[in-house]
Amino acid sequence: MKDITGSFGTLYFPKAALMIYHTRDSKSSTYVEFFDIDKNGNPVNAHPLSVNEARQLAKALNTKAEKKESILKPAGIMDTSILYTNQQQRKVIWYTKAQQKNLYFTPLSGIADGTANVPPLVWIAGDQGLHIFALPDNKRPSLTTKLYHAPFFNVYESGGVCMGTVDTTIKKTASLEEFISAWEACFFNSKFSHLMQAHNPINGNCVQLWDSLIGTDRPFPMEVLTPSKKTLKNFIS
C-alpha cells in the first residue's frame, strides 16, 4: 500500500491534554490538570496546569483576536490615496484619479460595453455598502472639498450605490488593499442600467454622455458634473 498522508496538507500531532474538574458545592471551584501526550498518543505525567503552560494555552487561543486585528491593515506602506480608515466599522474612504475603465451596461440602456475615461472619484465603503462621488480635479481632497455627484447610473442622489445582484461579499480578514480592490471591482464590474429615483447626476443626458465616451480616448468632460451637498465631513464619525 502507498502512504499518501503527505498529500493531506499540514498534519497536527497531539502534544498535551487538559482535564477540567469542577466541584459540586456552593463555592464551585475549578481545578485544571495538564497531561503530556507520549509518542503513542497516551496521556502521561499528570500535573496541575502551570503558569507557563497557561500562557502557551492563552497564546494558542489568541488566534481569533489576531485575525480581528489584521482586518484592514495595509500590506505595506499605506498609499496616499487612502483618506480614512475605521477598523471597528470596517470602513475606508479613498480616492482615485481620472482614469480609463472598462464599463458595462444592460441592453436596455442602449449603450455598448467598452472603455471610457471616468473622472476623479471618492469612495466610501464599509459594511453598510458603498457611496461614491466625483471630485473636481486629481488633487487629494480635504475634509471640506466639495463633492460632486458621480456621473453614473445606479447611484442615488445621496451617493449610495445600488449594487443589484453583484456579490459584494468581502472576506473579513481582507487587507486594506484587498478591501479597496474588491469594492472597486464590485462597482466597475456591475452593469449600469438606469437612473435612481429620477436623479440625473449630470448637466445633460447621461445616456448620450456615456454613448459618446465609450470606445474613445476623450477625457471626461468635467463641466457636466453637478455639485452635491456633501463633503467628507459627512462620512467621518
pLDDT higher at 23 or 112 = 112
Alpha-carbon distance of 110 to 230, in angstroms, equals 31
Q: Evaluate whether 43 touches 37 at the Cβ level (below 8 Å).
A: yes
> Quick check: pTM over 0.85?
no
Q: SS3 helix, strand, coil % of the chain, rounded to 5?
A: 20, 30, 50
Burial bucket for residue 163 (CB in 10 Å: 0-12, 13-18, 19+): middle
pLDDT digits (tens, 9 = 90+) for 55-71: 777 776 665 544 444 56
What's the pLDDT band for 80 if we cut at 50, 70, 90? very high
Grid coordinates belonging to 151: 456621473
**Per-residue model confidence (pLDDT) at position 156:** 97
